[in-house]
Amino acid sequence: MTDPSASLSFFARFWLAWLCFWRCLVSREFAQAVLPTSRAYDAGQLKELPAGAGAPPPPVKGPVVQATAVPAAPPPPEREHASALSLLAMLQREGRFLDFVQENVAAFPDADVGAAARIVHEGCRKVVHQYLTLEPVLPQGEGDKVTVPDGFNAQRIRLTGNVAGQPPYGGTLRHHGWVTTEVKFPSVSPAMEPRVLAPAEVELP
């Protein structure tokens, strides 16, 4: 390309140098705009610049290291599973669920276990109905004859017994399954410690 300075006389270049000198002193923006061109001149790349374009970045000495994005650190397990821990805390608060499963009930009479199970059942059922909407996977009743079609969803229907051949299959429904259609868990506050499922209770005199 043609060097734009070739059409400038000595006096024109002198006047331009004078202007650039003072403008670089008084204007940071002007100096920053001129600096890439000055670096290109020092690197012998001035003629490679298109008219009106800035200079290419200065050559990097040594091996070029490509910057890679640093993946965000995963949250700790208690934060990642905060919703599940919150559900356990609610089951404990309403139905003493953790107290029940942590207790060795083998040494208790069946009547005592049944009475405790009734309390646990009532509280846990309240939590499930409050925060989850459940529906059966299959509408038929247990013991009914059902047909499993070709291309069935193996996550929704599990085959048991003598599984052979190709679908469709005919069999007896042993359990209708459950699927969650709505989840209404409250958000877990960052100020709460999710690992604490039930605080220790201390009664003062």
Mean pLDDT for the stretch of residues 91-105: 93
Element (H, E) at 152: none
DSSP E strands in the chain: the ranges are: 132-135, 145-148, 169-172, 179-183
The least confident of 38-47, 72-81, 86-95 is 38-47
Element (H, E) at 170: strand 169-172
pLDDT band at residue 28, thresholds of 50, 70 and 90? confident
Of all residues in the chain, the percent with pLDDT exceeding 70 is 79
Residue 198 reports pLDDT greater than 90? yes
Q: What contacts 74, CB < 8 A, 6 or more positions away?
A: 80
The answer to whether the beta carbons of residues 128 and 180 sit under 8 Å apart is no
Mean pLDDT for the stretch of residues 3-26: 62
Token pair, residue 88, equals 């356990």
Three-state secondary-structure class, residue 172: strand
Q: What contacts 48, CB < 8 A, 6 or more positions away?
A: 40, 56
Mean pLDDT for the stretch of residues 16-32: 70
141 vs 14, 119, 126, 136, 153, CA distance in Å?
98, 27, 24, 10, 19
Q: Model pTM?
A: 0.56
Q: What contacts 11, CB < 8 A, 6 or more positions away?
A: none
Token pair, residue 164, equals 């052979």
Rounded distance, CA 119 to CA 125, Å? 10
The answer to whether the beta carbons of residues 174 and 160 sit under 8 Å apart is yes
Residue 165 reports pLDDT greater than 80? yes
The least confident of 16-20, 73-77, 150-154, 156-160 is 16-20
Distance of CA 44 to the CA centre of its chain: 49
Residues 114-136: tens digit of each pLDDT = 999 999 999 999 999 999 999 99
Three-state secondary-structure class, residue 76: coil
pLDDT: which is higher, 33 or 179: 179
What average pLDDT is seen over the chain?
Answer: 82
Three-state secondary-structure class, residue 184: coil
The least confident of 59-68, 75-84, 107-116 is 59-68
Give the DSSP letter of residue 51: T
